[in-house]
Structure 1
C-alpha cells in the first residue's frame, strides 16, 4: 500500500465515524444531545491517533518526529475534507425530509442553527483536535525522545 493510500484509508474511517455521530444527532436535534457531536470528534481523533501509531510502526519504528506529525496532519486534513463532504450530503438529505429551519418551531427548540453547529463542529473542532492528536501521538510513539532524527516519510 502506498503512503497516499494509507492516508486516505484512515481519513475515510475518521470521516465516516464523525458523520455517523452527525446522523445520530440529526435524528434527535436538541441542545442536550450536542455531546453526540463531540463523541464524533473523539472518534475522529482516535482514528488519527491510530493512523499515526500504525504509520510509525509501518516503517519499523524509525520515522522522524516531523514525519510522524505530518502524517497525522495529513490524515486530519484529508479526513476533514471528506467529513465536510459527507456532512453536507447528510444535511441535504435531512433537509429534504425535515428542513433545516422549521418556521413552526422557535430557534430555542434546537432547529434554528443546526447548520452552523454541525459545520463548525466538523471543521473547527476536528481541525484543532486532529492537529493536537497528531502532535501528541507523534511524540508519544517515538522511542528515542532525545533526537528527532529518523526516516522522512513525506
Structure 2
C-alpha cells in the first residue's frame, strides 16, 4: 500500500477552505433561523475557527511522522487561518451587500432605535468586519497554531552545545 505524504502547501488550502465552508454554513443557518443576532452564534463560529486550525496543526504533525518543528507547525496553522479568514471575510462582505436593505434612512426622531437602512448601521458593519472577522479570527488562529504546535511537540529534546 502506498503512503501519501501531503506537504504544507497542499494541506493549508484544504483545511482553510474546509474551515471557511463550515463557518459559512453555520452563519447561513443562524441567519435563516433568526439566531444571527444572538451573541453565542458568533462564539460558535469562532470556536470552529479555533478547533479547525488546531486540528490542522495536529494533522500536519501526523503527516510529517511527528518530526515537524514548532516553527513549521505554527506557520502551517497561520497559513490555514489566513486562508479561512480571507474566504470568510469575502463571504461576509458579499452576504452583507446581498442582505442589507438599501435606503438612506437615518436616526428616528425618538432617538431610541436605528432603522435597518441607517448609514450608521452600515458603518457599524465595517467595524464588525475588522474587529470580529479579521482581528478575533486572526488572534484565535495564532493561538490555535501556537497551542497545537506546543501540544504535539511536548517531548522535545534540547541540544547542549559544547
TM range (shorter): 0.7 to 0.9
Q: Equivalents in 1 of 2:10, 2:105: separation in Å?
A: 42
**CA–CA separation in structure 2 for the residues paired with 1:126 and 1:59:** 26
* Root-mean-square deviation (Å): 2.9
The answer as to 2:124 corresponding to 1:107 is no
**Structure 2 length-normalised TM:** 0.74
> SS of the counterpart of 2:66?
coil
Match of 1:79 in 2: 84
Q: How many Å apart are 1:16 and its aligned residue?
A: 1.8
Which position in structure 1 is the counterpart of 2:93? 88
How many equivalent pairs are there?
144
Aligned to 2:128: 117
Q: Which protein has the bigger helix share?
A: 1
Aligned match of 1:151:
none
**Whose RCO is larger (CA < 8 A, sep 6+)?**
1
Calculate the TM-score normalised by the size of structure 1: 0.77
Q: Match of 1:15? A: 20
Unmatched runs of 5 consecutive residues or more in structure 2: 1-5
